[in-house]
Amino acid sequence: MKAYYTRRFTALDNKFKGIVDKIAIYDRLGNRKGIYTIKTDENGYEYYEVDNPFDEYGLFTDKIKDAILCIKNGYADCIVKSNFLNILILRKYIDENYGKTLRDKTIEGFKNTKFAYAIKFNLYNSFTNDGLYLSNDNNNLLLSYDKNKIMTFDNIGDAKKYRLNLFNIAQNYFNEYIASGKNGKYLKNLEKTSVIKYMFSDLRKNRDTFDLDIVQVIK
């Protein structure tokens, strides 16, 4: 995960439409782990944005625990929050002394922080909704963020088990609905914000409109 070797070079970049500075990072065995474009921050310091080595797509979105671990291990120096869907971006600075100053501040700021896992409802093809957290109130979704009402789990295994149980509850409810001859009462029994209602609706209409993601949160 840590960059043991780096190589700086220039290359043509179609995104930036011209010649740009880039940096390649290598592990201790000499294997190249990534190539990144070097950028300059508002204070004139050069940096590059790193990928999440623990995520299949290299993202830090909803992965605050991964982000802090990467910073503690020296893979990155600080966190920058994007205005788009709360995306987390991690920067690694070229100037090691400046980077260490930011890294030390970040580590100190999160020194006593405890992390947990939560379940987040995300609609497919939605670019305006950051998702809804599952609450600790009868499997309802939180319409507004409240860290004190989010259902949390100490480990990812427990979160996955609970998510699977939600799908089983919804499937059993749907089976009862079919067995009843599609009795309309089954459409009225669920609360509007119940995640089971969304799952039941998809089963009833034979569609797939959302996902339940396991995310990292601050406990």
List, for residues 62-96, the tens digit of each pLDDT value.
Answer: 999 999 999 999 999 999 987 666 689 999 999 99
What does the pLDDT read at residue 14?
76
Mean pLDDT computed over 44-48: 98
pTM (2 d.p.): 0.88
| Band (212; pLDDT cuts 50, 70, 90) | very high
Residue-wise pLDDT for 131-158, tens only, equals: 899 999 999 999 888 889 999 999 999 9
The one-letter code for the residue type at 93 is: Y
Interhelix angle 156-179/195-205, nearest 10 degrees: 50
- Gap between the terminal Cα atoms of the chain: 26
Q: Are 107 and 76 in contact (CB under 8 A)?
A: no
| Six-digit token string for 89 | 């971006």
Phi-psi region at 181: left, alpha or beta (left = phi > 0; alpha = psi -120 to 50): left
Rounded to the nearest integer, the mean pLDDT of the chain is: 92
- 144: alpha, beta or left, given left = phi > 0 and alpha = psi -120 to 50? beta
